[in-house]
Amino acid sequence: MATPAEIAAYVGAAAWLPQIISLGYRAAVRPKVTIVPEKQVEIGYTSFGPIFNLRLAVSAARKDTIIDHVGASIKHEDGATHEFA
């Protein structure tokens, strides 16, 4: 038979279960981000430099997310590479 001290210890240990489960859930569940681009892009050059216009849709499943950077690397057939952000 468990003593009152052991019962109190079990109850105190069980009080941590919601926090442990929450941490495990947040670590295991990552958002699934889907990017759907348009079939054509606009690439050009202005007096401010090269431009890259791409229309796209972004969808997140499982969990909300914040996208803080979107970039593209464009490589020309002659080997010139440009990074767009």
For the chain, what is the mean pLDDT? 88
Nearest to 55 by CA among 36, 70, 76: 36
17 falls in which pLDDT band (50, 70, 90)? very high
Percent of the chain with pLDDT over 90: 26
Residue 61 has pLDDT above 80, yes or no: yes
Q: Sort residue 10 into left (φ over 0), alpha (ψ -120 to 50) or beta.
A: alpha
pLDDT category, 20, cuts 50, 70, 90? Answer: very high
Domain boundaries, the chain: 1-30, 31-85
The pTM of this model reads 0.50
